[in-house]
Amino acid sequence: MLKKSACLSVFLCVSSPVLADQLELSNGDTLQGKIVSMTDAKLVFSSPVLGELEVPMSMLKSFSSDETIKLQLVNGDVVESVVTSEAAGVVEFTMAEQPQRLRMDQIVGINPAPIKPVQWQGKLFAGVNVETGNTKAQNVDIDVKTTRETARDRVILDMRYEEDRSEDSTTGDLATSKRYYALGGHYDHFTTDDIYIYADARTEKEATANLDQRIKLGTGAGYRWIETTNTRFELEGGLSWVSEQFTNSTPDEEYTALRAATRLAHSLRSDLDVFNDAEWLVSLESSDDQLFSMDTGLAYQLNGHISLEAKLHYDWDKSPPAGNGEEDVRYVFGLSWGF
């Protein structure tokens, strides 16, 4: 008797004419319950008997709803309406108070998740070293990098400032031995999920190394080689125009250069990341004009926003201003705040 009652209850849940959304399957079966959503041609349906199901749209003859649902159409429009089953592969809904028929293959989503607003994300890094006693020195490093990315384009802005001051052994005053500024902007337009074209602009100044100003303007293409939860690796190549002005007797110059660049971010574990950005410019006019820069390091996350970073700035100029060496290596330790 108990088994018969249970079977009857199941039958009533499936077949009784209570208000419910309904799926008509290609094999003639009918399911009643609640349409939850649909993405990637798979409809999520909640049945009071069978629980939550994932039904391929290819298995549906039609469907209907008792309450308003959102239909995302192939042309990008989103319609809110009660849906009724009209015929095999066809549903009917109301738009502007007029009934409209729609083929099911024109529906790409049901109750789509709200689109998150595109926001700027980035981090502010600060490293400060102060020495007192027999030697007095102050070293400051500030890096700011922010990114705004959508499915089809990306903007990257960055700023870098370095200053070293040490005590003059003759006067006892703190003298500036290094002051470096850099400001850059980068725009990517994705033609596919992995390939993009870019425009890049950057200006640098380091008067303490006789560099009054360096401007780099470039364009080219990039490829997103790896894109996983833990790793992002990108390659870029193109042409850049470089203009350099100096504060000493070194002649100012302009040239066109080949540009190659990489961008790597990898999570070694949930709280430890490694990063590496590198760029190499080679003049098309003289192989003596070459510039290479690299920013690499480790970031250990202390909490949701603050990380401890250890990194290396490396810059190489094959033809530096008179009185300067080719390499500039800087080891930096500090804290970064993510936003």
For the stretch 232-250, pLDDT in tens is 999 999 999 999 999 999 9
pLDDT band of 4, cuts 50, 70, 90 = very low
Question: Based on the domain organization, do 201 and 327 belong to the same domain?
Answer: yes
Q: How many domains does the chain have?
A: 2
Question: Based on the domain organization, do 128 and 268 belong to the same domain?
Answer: yes
CATH number of the domain that 73 lies in?
2.30.30
**Is residue 299's pLDDT more than 70?**
yes
**Is residue 13's pLDDT more than 50?**
no
Interacting residues of 133 by C-beta distance below 8 A, sequence separation 6+:
none
**Is residue 168's pLDDT more than 80?**
no
Q: Quick count: other Cβ atoms within 10 Å of Cβ 335?
A: 15
Interacting residues of 7 by C-beta distance below 8 A, sequence separation 6+:
none
| Domain span including residue 263 | 121-338
For the stretch 35-48, pLDDT in tens is 999 988 899 999 88
- For residues 113 and 37, what is the distance between their CA atoms, to the nearest angstrom? 9
Region 111-140: what's the mean pLDDT? 80
Instruction: Name the DSSP letter for residue 112.
Output: P
Question: Based on the domain organization, do 141 and 236 belong to the same domain?
Answer: yes
- For residues 285 and 282, what is the distance between their CA atoms, to the nearest angstrom? 9
Q: Is residue 104 part of a domain?
A: yes
Instruction: Specify whether the CB–CB gap between 223 and 232 falls below 8 A.
Output: no
Average pLDDT in the chain: 88
CATH number of the domain that 165 lies in?
2.40.160.40
For the stretch 82-102, pLDDT in tens is 999 888 889 988 876 788 888
Question: Based on the domain organization, do 254 and 198 belong to the same domain?
Answer: yes
Instruction: Specify whether the CB–CB gap between 159 and 185 falls below 8 A.
Output: no
* 51 φ/ψ angles, rounded to the nearest 5 degrees: 80, -155
